[in-house]
Chain A
Amino acid sequence: MTSSRILRGGGIALISALSAWSASAHADSIWNMTRGVTDISRNVYDLHMLILWICVFIGIGVFGVMFWSIYHHRKSRGAEPAQFHESTAVEVAWTVVPMVILISMAVPATQVLIRMADASEAELTIKVTGYQWLWQYEYLDEDVSFFSALSTPHDQIYGDAPKGEHYLLEVDNPLVVPVGTKIRFVFTSADVIHSWWVPALGWKQDTIPGFINENWTLIEKPGTYRGQCAELCGRGHAFMPIVVEAVSPAEFQEWLARMKGQDAPEAPTAQTDSPALTLAGDQPL
Chain B
Amino acid sequence: MSTASPALDHDHDHEHHGPARGLKRWLLTTNHKDIGTLYLLFSLAMFFVGGAMALVIRAELFQPGMQIVDPHFFNQMTTMHALIMVFGAVMPAFVGLANWLIPMMIGAPDMALPRMNNWSFWILPFAFTLLLSTLFIPGGGPAGGWTLYPPLVLQTGQAFPFVILAIHMMGVSSIMGAINVIATILNMRAPGMTLMKMPLFVWTWLITAFLLIAVMPVLAGAVTMLLTDKYFGTSFFNAAGGGDPVLFQHIFWFFGHPEVYIMILPAFGIISHIIPTFARKPLFGYASMVYATASIAFLSFIVWAHHMFTVGMPLAGILFFMYATMLIAVPTGVKVFNWVATMWRGSMTFETPMLFAIAFVILFTIGGFSGLMLSIAPADFQYHDTYFVVAHFHYVLVPGSVFSLMAAAYYWLPKWTGHMYNETLGKVHFWLSVIGVNILFFPQHFLGLAGMPRRIPDYALQFTQFNMISTVGAFIFGLSQLLFLYIVIQTIRGGAKATDQVWDGAKGLEWTLSSPPPYHTFTTAPEVK
CB pair A197 B453 closer than 8 Å = yes
CB pair A51 B376 closer than 8 Å = yes
CB pair B155 A192 closer than 8 Å = yes
**A-side contacts of B123, CB under 8 Å:** none
Contact of A232 with B347 at beta-carbon distance under 8 Å, contacts A95-B330, A169-B460, A193-B151 already known: no
A33 close to chain B: CB less than 8 A: yes
CB pair B446 A30 closer than 8 Å = yes
CB pair A7 B330 closer than 8 Å = no
Binds B, one of A137-145, A205-213, A256-264: A205-213
CB pair A227 B451 closer than 8 Å = yes
A110 close to chain B: CB less than 8 A: yes
Contact of A234 with B155 at beta-carbon distance under 8 Å, contacts A30-B463, A81-B280, A157-B65 already known: yes
Residues of A185-221 contacting chain B, CB below 8 A? 187, 191-193, 195, 197, 199, 202-206, 208-211, 213-214
Residues of B363-405 contacting chain A, CB below 8 A? 365-366, 369-370, 372-373, 376-379, 381-382, 384-386
**B-side contacts of A208, CB under 8 Å:** 239, 245-246, 311-312
A7 to B61, CA, bound (A): 12
CB pair B312 A75 closer than 8 Å = no
Interface centre among A69, A191, A205, A211 (most CB of B within 10 A): A69
Contact of A47 with B376 at beta-carbon distance under 8 Å, contacts A13-B472, A24-B465, A63-B362 already known: yes
A266 close to chain B: CB less than 8 A: no
User: Considering only CB atoms, which chain B residue lies closest to A55 in the complex?
Assistant: B369
B287 close to chain A: CB less than 8 A: yes
Interface centre among B358, B365, B369, B462 (most CB of A within 10 A): B462
A91 close to chain B: CB less than 8 A: yes
CB pair A48 B373 closer than 8 Å = yes
Q: Which of B75, B245, B346, B372 contacts A51 (CB 8 A)?
A: B372
Contact of A73 with B326 at beta-carbon distance under 8 Å, contacts A10-B63, A158-B66 already known: no
CB pair B456 A237 closer than 8 Å = yes
**A-side contacts of B246, CB under 8 Å:** 208, 211
* Least distance between A210 CB and chain B CB atoms (Å): 2
A106 to B463, CA, bound (A): 32
B500 close to chain A: CB less than 8 A: no
Contact with A along B194-227 (1 / 0, CB 8 A): 0000000000000000000000000000000000
Contact with A along B57-96 (1 / 0, CB 8 A): 0000011111100111001000000000000000000000
**B-side contacts of A98, CB under 8 Å:** 329-330, 333
A166 to B459, CA, bound (A): 10
Binds A, one of B22-30, B176-184, B337-345, B514-522: B337-345
**A-side contacts of B464, CB under 8 Å:** 3-4, 7, 17, 20, 24
B508 close to chain A: CB less than 8 A: no
* Least distance between A270 CB and chain B CB atoms (Å): 22
A231 close to chain B: CB less than 8 A: yes
A3 to B341, CA, bound (A): 48
A55 to B332, CA, bound (A): 14
User: Considering only CB atoms, which chain B residue lies closest to A160 in the complex?
Assistant: B65
* Least distance between A183 CB and chain B CB atoms (Å): 17
CB pair B322 A233 closer than 8 Å = no
Residues of B211-268 contacting chain A, CB below 8 A? 238-240, 244-246
Contact of A20 with B382 at beta-carbon distance under 8 Å, contacts A109-B322, A233-B152 already known: no
30 examples of A-B residue contacts, CB within 8 angstroms: A1-B461, A7-B63, A7-B468, A10-B62, A13-B62, A17-B468, A20-B465, A24-B462, A30-B463, A31-B449, A62-B340, A66-B343, A76-B349, A79-B346, A82-B281, A85-B286, A157-B65, A157-B458, A167-B64, A168-B460, A191-B151, A195-B310, A202-B381, A203-B381, A209-B151, A211-B244, A233-B152, A234-B75, A234-B155, A237-B455
Binding site for B on A (CB under 8 A): 1, 3-4, 7, 10, 13-14, 16-18, 20-21, 24, 27-34, 43-44, 47-48, 51-52, 55, 58-59, 62-63, 65-66, 69-70, 73-76, 79-87, 90-91, 94-95, 98-99, 102, 105-106, 109-110, 112-114, 116-117, 156-159, 163, 165-169, 187, 191-193, 195, 197, 199, 202-206, 208-211, 213-214, 226-239, 279, 285
